[in-house]
Amino acid sequence: MNIALIIPSRYGSTRLKGKPLRLVSGKTLIYRVWSLASAVKGVNSIHVATDDRRIADHVEGFGGLATMTPERCENGTERVFAAAKSLSPVPSHVLNLQGDAVLTPPWVLERVVEEMVRQPDLEMVTAAVRMDWRSYQKAVEDMASGEAGATTVVFDRHGNALYFTKGVIPFVRRDSPSFSTEGAPVYQHVGIYGYKFETLTHYLTLKPGPLERAEKLEQLRALENGIPLRVVEVDYRGRTNGSIDIEDDICRAENIISSEGELLDAEL
């Protein structure tokens, strides 16, 4: 089993140009993500998939592996695939870690890797975290105000996804046996994906369906086409999750790092 962890990293972000090279608490965003990926046990190689020589030079400068991919890739999934198919040998499995996920703990990624290793025939694997009541109430408030907040997911008894949505599911009644002080029976999706290489190849031949177009969630393409998607529950162990999409997110991430400390034992 050959698992390649691939980080898609594009310079021309529409909301934050040059995002991978922006500094977050003194280190570039892409260096931070690569460092977290390097701490993940169970993967065979780590690659930054990019369309910009500035990013590639920076990655190679700190000892990482950069793979150049076409500028025309429409999203991170296509960029990950372009990088994976160029590798020799082509990996049997691919783990896609978003290039702006500076607050993703290595142990969360390892949980996805463990499931891929345990059941190598799984076509796709992703992750979800159980919401506490504070997160749940915020998600409900965001939905009521018309904002697209956290993505939630429901899955069957075997952990296979039934549906993903920008809404909040399931609806939790106050008199429900599921209602407890420990947390809501609602799971927030974590945007990490593991694929068999053959599944990733097939996935990218499929057209977006009505559910994906309505929700703007790529993972619904798998469900609409009958591709099973395993969901594993992960635990952030008190850490705050988040990624960087806009300028304000940099300040937020820096505040989290300052208050909670670095994710890695050794200083980045």
Where along the chain do its domains lie? Answer: 3-260
How many Cβ atoms are within 10 Å of 145's Cβ, its own excluded? 8
Q: Share the mean pLDDT of the chain.
A: 92
* CA distance to 154, 214, 217, 226, per residue, from 209 (Å): 19, 9, 10, 12
pLDDT tens track for 26-65: 999 999 999 999 999 999 999 999 999 999 999 999 999 9
Q: Nearest to residue 242, comparing CAs of 9, 13, 4, 33?
A: 33
Residue 178: the pLDDT is: 59
CB 103 within 8 A of CB 256: yes
H-type helices in the chain, by residue range? 29-38, 53-61, 76-86, 106-118, 133-144, 197-203, 210-215, 219-224, 247-260
Kindly report the pTM of this predicted structure.
0.92
Fold of the 3-260 domain: Spore Coat Polysaccharide Biosynthesis Protein SpsA; Chain A (3.90.550)
Longest dimension (CA), the chain: 57
Quick one: tokens of 32? 């931070």
Quick one: what percent of the chain has pLDDT higher than 70?
Answer: 94
Quick one: tokens of 38? 């390097």
DSSP secondary structure string, 32-93? HHHHHHHT-TT-SEEEEEES-HHHHHHHHHTT--EEE--TT--SHHHHHHHHHHHSSSPPSE
CB 92 within 8 A of CB 2: yes
119-129 average pLDDT score = 97
pLDDT tens track for 200-236: 999 999 999 999 999 999 999 999 999 999 999 999 9
CB 196 within 8 A of CB 84: no
pLDDT tens track for 173-206: 766 665 555 566 899 999 999 999 999 999 999 9
